[in-house]
Amino acid sequence: MSAKPIKPIAAPRLYQRIAEEIARLIDAGTFKPGDRLPAERDLARSLDVSRSSLREALGALEIDGRITIRVGSGAYVATPVARRGARARKSAEISPFDVLRTRRLVEAEAAALAARHATPAQIAAMGKAFERLAADMRANQMQSAADRDFHLCIANASGNSALALVIERLWAEGGQPLNVRIEALFVTRGRKRDNIAEHRAVQDAIRNRDPAAARHAMRAHLTNAERQRMMLLPDGARSSARN
C-alpha cells in the first residue's frame, strides 16, 4: 500500500492572522455592521502590530467583503448584504510591503549595475518604456504594463541574469489581488505625477553612467512608493487626498 503524500501546513502570514482576529471581533459583535473601525494607529497599538501589516490585513478583509475602506473616512464593517457576493481568497499572498522593501534592496543595486553595463540598445528600450509609462501615469492608469517593462529593462541591463529573475518574480507578486487593491485605494493621481519625475531621475542616472546616482534614485522612488501606501488612512484623514 503506497503512502499518501503529506503536504506541509503553511503558517499564515502575519497580516492574515491580523485579519482573522479582526474578523473574529466582527463575528463576536465587538464591531457591528456599519461601525467604523478604530483609527489605524489605535487599532495597530491594540493588536501590537505595525501599521503596514494592519493595512495589509484591512485590504485582505475588504477583498473578502468583511469591511469597506473609504479613503478620507476610514474602514467600516460591511453589512451582510454587501458581503453576500464576496469571495474568500484561497491563500495568503506575500506581504505587499515586504515585496516593496525587497524591491528597494535589489532594484537599487540593479540600477547601479545598469549604469555600468547597459548597452545602447538596452538604454533605448528603457527610454521607450519610460515614454509609455509617463503616458500611462498622466492618464491615471492603474497597473501600467510599461512601469513593469521599465523596471525589467533596468534589471536585464544589470548584466546579472539571476538578479533579473528575482526582480521579475517580485513584479509578478505585485500583480496579486491584495497588492492591486492597496494600490487602487492609496496611490493618488498626484503620486503618479511624481512617479514620472522619479523614473526620469533613474533613467537619467543610468544614461549618464552614474551608478551612485542610479542607486539613490531607485531607492528614493521605491521608498516614496511605500510611503504613499501608508499615508492616506491614518485617523479619519483628509478627503482632499483623492486629488
Q: Per-residue pLDDT tens for 45-98?
A: 999 999 999 999 999 999 999 999 988 788 999 987 555 545 555 556 889 999
Q: What is the pLDDT of residue 242?
A: 36
Q: Per-residue pLDDT tens for 125-143?
A: 999 999 999 999 999 887 7
CA distances from 162 to 96, 159, 219 (A): 22, 9, 20
Owner of C-alpha cell 509609462: 133
CB 12 within 8 A of CB 92: yes
Q: Would you identify the CATH topology of the domain 14-83?
A: Arc Repressor Mutant, subunit A (1.10.10)
Element (H, E) at 11: none
Give residue 70's identity as a one-letter amino acid code.
Answer: R
Q: Name the residue ranges covered by the structural domains of the chain.
A: 14-83, 96-232
CB 152 within 8 A of CB 171: yes
Question: Shortest CA distance to 15 belongs to which of 69, 59, 57, 60?
Answer: 57
Q: For residue 85, how far is the Cα from the chain centroid? A: 25
Q: What is the pLDDT of residue 56?
A: 94
Backbone angles phi, psi at 232, to 5 degrees: -105, 0
Q: What is the pLDDT of residue 71?
A: 82
Looking at the whole model, is its pTM more than 0.75?
A: yes
CATH numeric code, 96-232: 1.20.120.530
SS3 label, residue 36 = strand
How confident is the model over 18-34, as a mean pLDDT?
Answer: 94
Q: How wide is the angle at C-alpha 93 spanned by C-alphas 92 and 99, nearest 5°?
A: 150
Question: Shortest CA distance to 220 belongs to which of 198, 203, 205, 200?
Answer: 198
Q: Per-residue pLDDT tens for 133-184?
A: 999 999 988 778 999 999 999 999 999 999 999 999 999 998 899 998 988 8
SS3 label, residue 186 = helix
β-strand partners of 75: 69
Q: Per-residue pLDDT tens for 216-237?
A: 999 999 999 998 888 755 454 3
Q: What is the pLDDT of residue 217?
A: 98
